[in-house]
Structure 1
Amino acid sequence: METERNEADRRRRRSQLLLKQSFAELMREKGFTAMTIQDITDRADVHRGTFYAHFPDKFALLEQSIRDKFRQILERELPPDAGWNPEHLLMLVRIVLDHVRSLYGRCSPIDTVNPLFESSVRDELAELLQLWLQKLRADQADWTIHVDTMALMTSWSIFGAAVQWSKSYEDISVDEMTHRVVAVLTEGAGRFANNDKKM
C-alpha cells in the first residue's frame, strides 16, 4: 500500500514537472496569450486530463510557475537562517527590486501576465514575511500586532515600492531605493507619531 502511494506521488510530481517545463518552453517560444492547454500537453506528452488533474487552467499554471521561480530566487539569495533583521531585510528588498525590474523590462504593461505576476510575488513575499515575523514574535511576548496583518502590509509596501521604482524612478539606484524602503520598514511611521506627541 505504501509502495503504491509512493509510486503515485512520484508519477504526480513527474507529470507536474513535465507540464511546468513545457509551459516554460512555450512561454519563450509563443508567449502566454498564444499558447493553449493542448500545446502544453502535447509538448509534455501527457493527456489533457493529466493537465486538469494538476491545474484548472493555464492561468493557475502560470501563477504556480511565477511563485516557484520567485521562491527559488529567495532560496538561492537568502541565507537558510534568514529572518526579520536589518541585514536580511536589505537582502530581501534588493531581491524584490531586482526581480520586479527584470519583469517590467520584459512585459508590456497591458500583458495579462502582469496582474498574476504581481499577486503571485506579493503572496509569496507575504508568506515568507509571516514566517520571519512569527519567529520574531516568539521572542517578544508583549507584541500585540497581528502577524498576518504585519506580513500583508509589509509585502504590499515592499512590492509597491518596487513596482513604482521600476516604472518611474530610474534616477534612483537600486542600492539607494533598497535603503529607503528598509528605513521605512525599520523606522516607519512610529517616528512621525512620536514626533507629533512632542509638539
Structure 2
Amino acid sequence: MEGPLTPTKRAMPTDARQIRSRKALNSALLALLEERSFDQLTIREITARAGTGYATFFRHYPDKEALLSDVATDEIAHLLAMTTPILYESNSYESTLALCRYVAEHARLWSALLTGGAAAIVRNEFIDQARALVEEARTTPDWLPSDLGVVHGTGSTFDILAWWLGEKNDLKVQDVATILHRLVIAPLIGDKIEKRIPTP
C-alpha cells in the first residue's frame, strides 16, 4: 500500500537546476527550523533563505507541509541508518540513547516533524522506512509477527518522542532513553533491561 509521501517521491526532479532548487529549499527549511518553529515560517521566508523565486517553490511543492514531508523522508532515513545497526548489536540501550541524543540536538526540527501539522504523514513515513529494514533486523519473538513488531516499535517510539518534545517537562535525554528502552525496545527484541541500562 502506498504511503502519504508517495506523490512527493514520484515528483522527484531529474533536471539539474530543479534538483538544486529542491535541495536549496530543503536546506533552507532545515536552517530556519533551527531558529523558529515551523508554524511561524512562511513560504516567502523559505524561498528567500533558499535563494529561489516564490513561484519556484510551487513548481516543487503545493505547500510548506509538503516540503516538510520531503525533509522528513531524508531525516528519518538518516536517523534509522544511524541507530538501527547498533540496535541489533550487543547493547540496544546505546542505540536508544543515540536516537534520543540526535533528536535532542535537532529539537526544533524534530518537534516540527513529530508534533506539527504533518505529524501523521511523518509517523507513517517513519513506519514505512523501518519496515524496509526489517529483513536485516534480528528476528522478533516467535509469538510476534515481524511486521507488527515494526509497526508497534516504530509507532511507539514516535509517540514517546512526540510526547517528550510536545510536553513541558524536565526529562533529560537519558531519562527518555530509559523510558523508551524499558517500554518499547527491550521487550520487543528480548533484551534483559538490567544489563542494558548503565548504573550512574
* TM-score class normalised by the smaller sequence: 0.5 to 0.7
Taking structure 2 as the reference length, the TM-score comes to 0.60
Change (3 A) 1:71 1:146: closer
Instruction: Please report the TM-score for the alignment, with normalisation by the length of structure 1.
Output: 0.60
Match of residue 128 from structure 2: 127
The equivalent of 1:154 in structure 2 is 153
Gaps of 5+ in 1: 1-6, 189-199
More displaced 10-residue stretch of structure 1: 155-164 or 11-20: 155-164
Give the alignment's Cα RMSD to 1 decimal: 4.2
The aligned counterpart of 2:145 is: 145
Give 1 or 2 for the bigger CA radius of gyration.
Answer: 1
After TM superposition, give the deviation of residue 34 of structure 1 in Å: 3.5
Deviation at 1:183, TM superposition (A): 1.9
Q: Please say if residues 97 and 178 of structure 1, whose CA atoms lie closer than 8 Å, have aligned partners that are also in contact.
A: no
Aligned to 1:195: none
1:184 partnered with 2:187: yes
Is 1:11 equivalent to 2:17 in the alignment? yes
Could you tell me whether the CA contact under 8 Å between 2:126 and 2:154 is conserved in 1?
yes
Distance 1:133 1:70, change over 3 A: closer
- Give 3-state SS (helix, strand or coil) of 2:133's partner: helix
User: Percent same amino acid among aligned pairs?
Assistant: 24
Is the 8 Å Cα contact of residues 100 and 163 (structure 1) preserved in structure 2? Answer: no
Q: Report how far residue 58 of structure 1 moved.
A: 0.7
CA distance 1:117–1:160, shift in 2 (3 Å): same
Choose which of 24, 31, 36 in structure 1 pairs with 2:30: 24
Which residue identity lines up with residue 153 of structure 1 in the other structure?
H
Unaligned runs of 5+ in 2: 1-12, 192-200
Measured after TM superposition, the shift of residue 187 of structure 1 is 3.8
Gap change, CA 1:143 and 1:34, over 3 Å in 2 = closer
> Where do 1:20-169 residues align within 5 Å?
20-29=26-35, 31-75=37-81, 77-78=82-83, 82=85, 85=88, 87=90, 89-101=92-104, 114-116=115-117, 118-119=119-120, 122-135=123-136, 145=145, 147=147, 149-164=148-163, 167=167
Q: What number of residue pairs does the alignment pair up?
A: 173
